[in-house]
Chains A and B, each alone.
Chain A
């Protein structure tokens, strides 16, 4: 392990979805973004437990927005990736890159 706790695969996906969404990252939008980018429908329970875990690790921060009528008057919780979270994603992606080096499997697929 280099420079901090490791991230699981789903944790990386969630962090990347939050980064892609920017200031609009809340529960429903994050699930939609993951589905759109990966074709994978995540269970809401899996997403919320992962967000809680990432928040406890200090990889994401959250803030409450304004309540809206289509949500029964309940506020949205917006998430953002902290500097530690961004560094953890980068570290994990570099690990994947190193593992891929020399395998040429991506080139073969696109040939």
Chain B
């Protein structure tokens, strides 16, 4: 995926598409002088800044969206797991087995279930996005990022970090929660019609 498209899709989750397009263009133009590392940092910074600006302006709405997102996510995860059991693709539960001792097939199924449930959550929340402002998926994505960060810090502070927990926090959460969530939302929010008209005006 070209970086301008990636930037536009990510920014479209935190602001309206017209604005996402022009900011993505600015970042790509400046990245020509400053390089890909600057681009990655600037893109993340802009996305977070726009999200937190919107969050500050409507905290109650964002917390409501987070609660709705968690509910949708839990429902879809249960649906994916139950479907797997009914289709005979997995055992009813992996209880009693520590992750480290689980078979590669069980781990793979768990990871795929999580990724699928989060992708579907992204699709559902992406469809329900507001006309402007952050997508309903953003509070949930940042919630998972915060969960991973807090859990990692708690392990480090307690002096008991284990390699598999660290792997889950740093690799599992971004790969199986956040990335599928954002991918689903970006897919759901993609415009189906023609691109916006240039030379349009906005306000005053």
Contacts and interface: CB of A to CB of B under 8 A. Distances in A.
A52 interface: yes
A72 B25 contact: yes
Contacts, number: 106
A55 interface: yes
A75 B202 contact: no
Contact of A61 (B5, B49, B50, B202): B202
A1 to B, nearest CB: 21
Give chain B's interface secondary structure class: helix
B23 A82 contact: no
Contacts of B200: 63-64
Interface residues of A, number: 33
A44 B4 contact: no
Given A44-B23, A44-B26, A74-B21, 15 more contacts: A27-B23, A28-B26, A43-B49, A44-B42, A55-B202, A58-B203, A60-B204, A61-B202, A62-B201, A64-B22, A64-B198, A67-B25, A67-B198, A72-B25, A74-B4
What are the 5 closest A-B residue pairs judged by CB atoms, nearest first? A45-B49, A74-B25, A72-B4, A71-B25, A27-B26
